[in-house]
Amino acid sequence: MQEIKRKYVVPGDRIVDGNFRPLSNVTKSGNSIFATRIGIAEATRDGIKVIPLSGVYIPRVNDVVIGKIIDHSSLSWQVDIRSCFSAHLPAQDVFGRDFSPARDDMNKQLAIGDLVTARIMAFDRTRDPMLTIQDKDLGKIPRGEFLKISATRVPRLIGKRGSMIQTIEQATQTRILIGQNGIVVVAGRSAEGTQLAIRAIRMVEEEAHTSNLTQRIKTLLNVPEPESTETISEQASPEGQKLEGSSSSIPEAEEQVQEEELEKGDKE
């Protein structure tokens, strides 16, 4: 089999010729595989896929998302999950089986404008995503500062086995809720900690595709580092690692970072 290097692609780029299986965000035409989104093309044992670097959130069953209640009918709430699909949360999920539209006031439980953490219970191409809040840590979000990031940056914000988000939480004394759809709620004891956490999250969003990001975040948050500080300050300087060429292969130094990202993407 032909060896495939990881590379940046834009929609329409030919990733590889040959007998490969198309996975996510690619399409097979004749004997070639083409990218359908901007991202990093990657060959795995199963086939070829593209890890997207931009785009809206596409719901997947079992994803935990943060949504905004935007309306309700007599039987369900309509929830904006920052996707091209509008989700709904059945009233029975909140009130239980014996829910009665005549007796129960839906506005008292969840009003328009409330934020909820919810899990996507069902979604396929024939119907819009259905949510549930019946699980630990799901439900209405009572407080915190919220911000929106691109859904494609979420795996990077979480980091390998949650390393990035734990770093930020510990350094800023905050609790951070992340929805797979890119909505983040930061609740902290102090306003300074919360603001610092928000700055760190924004930095992750802007520099998600660059290497040594964890180090730079640690520098921003003043996390004591056992390694020599010289390396950190060196890495903190901008090195113009931003995505420039559409299909340039990724330098070796970045490989590890991408791996983390990919691994996270796989896990989701």
Give the integer Cα–Cα distance in Å for 101 and 38.
45
DSSP 167: H
Q: 30 with 145: CB under 8 angstroms?
A: no
Q: Which range in 4-12, 118-126, 141-149, 221-229 contacts another protein by CB under 8 A?
A: 141-149
Q: Which stretch, 4-12, 22-30, 139-147, 257-265, contacts another protein (CB under 8 A)?
A: 139-147
Q: Does 122 bind another protein (CB under 8 A)?
A: no
To another protein, the closest distance from the beta carbon of 194 in angstroms equals 10
Among 29, 45, 108, 113, binds another protein (CB under 8 A): 113
Instruction: Please select the residue that binds another protein; options are 75, 112, 122, 253, rule is CB under 8 A.
Output: 112
Give the interface segment with another protein, choosing from 110-118, 168-176, 212-220, 244-252 (CB under 8 A).
110-118
111 lies in the binding site for another protein (CB under 8 A): yes
What minimum distance in Å lies between the beta carbon of 69 and another protein? 8
Q: What are the structure tokens assigned to 102, written together? A: 């005549």
Asked if 56 contacts 82 with a C-beta cutoff of 8 angstroms, the reply is yes
Q: How many CB atoms lie within 10 A of CB 167?
A: 17
Burial class of residue 10, CB neighbours in 10 A (0-12, 13-18, 19+)? middle
**Is there binding between residue 138 and another protein (CB under 8 A)?**
no
158 close to 201: Cβ distance less than 8 angstroms? no
Interface with another protein (CB under 8 A)? 68, 70, 80, 111-115, 141, 143-146, 185
